[in-house]
Structure 1
Amino acid sequence: MRVWMRRGVWACLFWPVAQLFQFLLGFRLGLILLGYQSQTRVAVPVIVVGNIFVGGTGKTPLVIYLVQQLRAAGWTPGVISRGYAAEAAAVTLVTADALAQVVGDEPLLIHTRTNAPVVVGRQRVAAAQMLLLAHPEVNVIISDDGLQHYALARDVEIVLFDQRGVGNGWLLPAGPLREPVQRRRDFTVVNLPADAPLPALGVPADAPVLRMQLLAGAVYQLCDPQKTQTLQHLASTALEITAVAGIGNPQRFFTMLAAAGVQCKGLPMPDHYAFHATSFAQITSDIILMTEKDAVKCRQLAALRQDARIWVVPVDAQLDPHFAQQIIELISEKQHGRTLA
């Protein structure tokens, strides 16, 4: 990943391949725009939340935020997702007792946090169709990722970045980008603390950029979620703490804890890490802090579910309230018969 943050020797070696990749992307999009490849439009508005920077940028908290905001405005949202690393081969409806390894950790977390209907599947069109068939009350669909899955027509596109911005600004494999920075979108959102400067995003200077902050809620014990405490209280103790993060950008989790005054040892794991019964056997700390995304997997393992040292740090996305209102206005136009995209 560090290689992709600058235009060094290795990035330059792969630059010709990145040019070929860009040509193929443009050719594929051109086929759709010219009508040689069709898009399927479902009966309700579709909002796509994605990123062009490979890896995690905070899409799951943003999806949860949108579900909550839409519901508060009287909508009935549903979610579709690829379910990264999910074993389910067919389109699958996520239930409360679903295994994270089958449906994916992020879709399970979204369903657990919001109780919204969630469907996972490699084919976004099939997932959307199943969602509407199983839950006809749904009147807006949020696609967790899927910017590059153009087979499903969309009405609102949200591109999410974090503090890494666009890296060196080059496409794969010379850089970290799945698509050019100039790709169309309706909203550009950056997952960034309030006091951090905006990174380079490659967008026009006058283009609006919305800042999203992830705020930690009350920390709860995995084996007994009724037991809670604040990060500030943890910071005031003399307990030895280890923080575990199997997410796309573990450092973001560790930085958030440090900003709250929590002194801990950071233990980064690969994104979507498959925990096992002895994952923490060698850890001698008094407290193990983890993300909710990791917790949905750990609570399904008896040995970890019973480990009283494990505490979960939930986060909530915070954005300008006008953001949700603008989205609602756009999808309201679609609901009343106007085609947006």
Structure 2
Amino acid sequence: MSFESRIQRAWQHRGLLSTLLLPLSALYCAVVTRRRRTFLQAPPPPLPLPVVVVGNVTVGGTGKTPMVIRLCEWLREQGWRPGVVSRGYGGGGSDRPLRVTECSSATDAGDEPLLIALRARVPVSVCADRVAAVRALLADDACDIVVADDGMQHYRLPRDVEIAMLDGRRRLGNGRCLPAGPLREPASRLQEVDFVVSTEGEPAAGEYGMALHLDAAWSLADSSQRRQPSDFSGTTVHAVAGIGNPERFFAALEAAGLHIVRHAFPDHHRYRAEELVFGDGAPVLMTEKDAVKCLEFAPSDCWAVPASAELPAALTAALDERLRKLRNGQETA
């Protein structure tokens, strides 16, 4: 188990270490609360197009990237031209906007923005300043609506809709802010967002449940080669995941009937070729987020297993109503 996984597990309980860290947690909570209050008192000027923020109040994987990808696909189906902005975590972290294309590298753009650009086929701009990233898309007339990937705490970015992602099993952990718990902001922040979307487990009252499912795996050596995850059943495979919640990926593979050897890495891990060589000839299955960083050196029998989100009809109906009002308001302004 990786250090990150052990921390995530510790944050599920109010043990001795968490209690000892409470003074730092209280300080952190006070700082983020004051920062949010400052922006609410003097909010940034609105942008000339709707902005939908997808984020979370907890540290760790919540299904945010699959949500952004599916949301962009759904928006295009409704007649919108979506674009995505992101900080580009795991990339160069430049203060100048970078347009992400299929030819970009994860080193420059970040793993999640590159995956979104490849899967959703939408314009993606990354920058530490998300407002500058939006303006770069506007300058190219690239979109008429923006989805901000992981932008809930970036208050300089105006937003019209906030979608908070939540792990339905881990929920809010021990309910404490960093570093005593997994919360980036106090739990009360969830009462201020427009939609709370829960992955796995049973959604609580007022939440929307989002299903995640595995799609056909593709070969890193030849992306035209496809195999269903169940095709690997009956043999041992190495499962590689450097995401916020590796166990979700491992459990999904096991649910498909695979016998796996777990290899959990820290979120946004930068792989070396030798880390994917296990010496037994068994296939290697990894998440797409990991795969986009390993295309140049992955072993021949290495496969990426995409995860796709299924948005509940109640959520898309409510979101469609909200966006129609925004669009009508802009047209009459």
TM-score, normalised by the number of residues in structure 2? 0.92
Shift of 1:276: 2.0
Task: Name 2:4's counterpart in structure 1.
Answer: none
Aligned-partner Cα distance in 2 for 1:146–1:74: 24
The within-5 A match list for 1:166-185 is 166-183=172-189, 184-185=192-193
Shift of 1:24: 2.0
Aligned to 1:262, which of 258, 261, 265? 258
Task: Name 1:23's counterpart in structure 2.
Answer: 30
Contact 1:40 1:125 in 2 (8 A): no
Cα–Cα, structure 1 residues 240 and 29, in superposed 2: closer, same or farther, change >3 Å?
closer
Aligned to 2:220, which of 197, 207, 222? 222
Greater CA drift, 80-89 or 98-107: 80-89
Shift of 1:223: 1.1
Aligned to 2:131, which of 125, 146, 164? 125
Contact 1:109 1:293 in 2 (8 A): yes
Identity %: 41
Cα–Cα, structure 1 residues 266 and 43, in superposed 2: closer, same or farther, change >3 Å?
same
Aligned residues: 320
Aligned-partner Cα distance in 2 for 1:317–1:272: 20
Shift of 1:325: 2.5
Aligned to 1:210, which of 204, 208, 220? 208
Task: Name 1:241's counterpart in structure 2.
Answer: 237
Aligned-partner Cα distance in 2 for 1:258–1:250: 13
Aligned to 2:194, which of 170, 180, 186? 186
Shift of 1:142: 0.2
C-alpha distance after superposition, 1:115-147 (max 9, x if no partner): 10000000111111111112x141110000010
SS in 1 for 2:276: coil
Matched, 1:51 2:56: yes
Unaligned regions of 5+ residues in structure 2, if any? 1-6
* RMSD of aligned Cα (Å): 1.7
Contact 1:66 1:324 in 2 (8 A): no
Task: Name 1:151's counterpart in structure 2.
Answer: 156
Shift of 1:20: 2.2
Task: Name 1:294's counterpart in structure 2.
Answer: 290
TM-score, normalised by the number of residues in structure 1? 0.90
C-alpha distance after superposition, 1:178-201 (max 9, x if no partner): 111111111111111xxx445xxx
Task: Name 2:3's counterpart in structure 1.
Answer: none
Unaligned regions of 5+ residues in structure 1, if any? 199-204
Task: Name 1:39's counterpart in structure 2.
Answer: 44
Shift of 1:265: 0.6
Contact 2:83 2:142 in 1 (8 A): no
SS in 2 for 1:80: strand
Contact 2:87 2:93 in 1 (8 A): no
Aligned-partner Cα distance in 2 for 1:20–1:277: 41
Shift of 1:88: 4.5
Contact 1:241 1:285 in 2 (8 A): no
C-alpha distance after superposition, 1:261-306 (max 9, x if no partner): 111111111111111232223342421101111111111x2x32xx
Aligned-partner Cα distance in 2 for 1:223–1:80: 29
Aligned-partner Cα distance in 1 for 2:274–2:262: 18
Shift of 1:328: 2.1
The within-5 A match list for 1:51-70 is 51-70=56-75
- Give the letter for the 1:280 counterpart: L
Shift of 1:32: 2.0
Matched, 1:253 2:245: no
C-alpha distance after superposition, 1:146-177 (max 9, x if no partner): 10111111011011111211000011121110
Greater CA drift, 53-62 or 74-83: 53-62
The within-5 A match list for 1:81-92 is 81-89=86-94, 90-92=96-98
Aligned to 1:330, which of 322, 325, 328? 322
SS in 2 for 1:278: helix
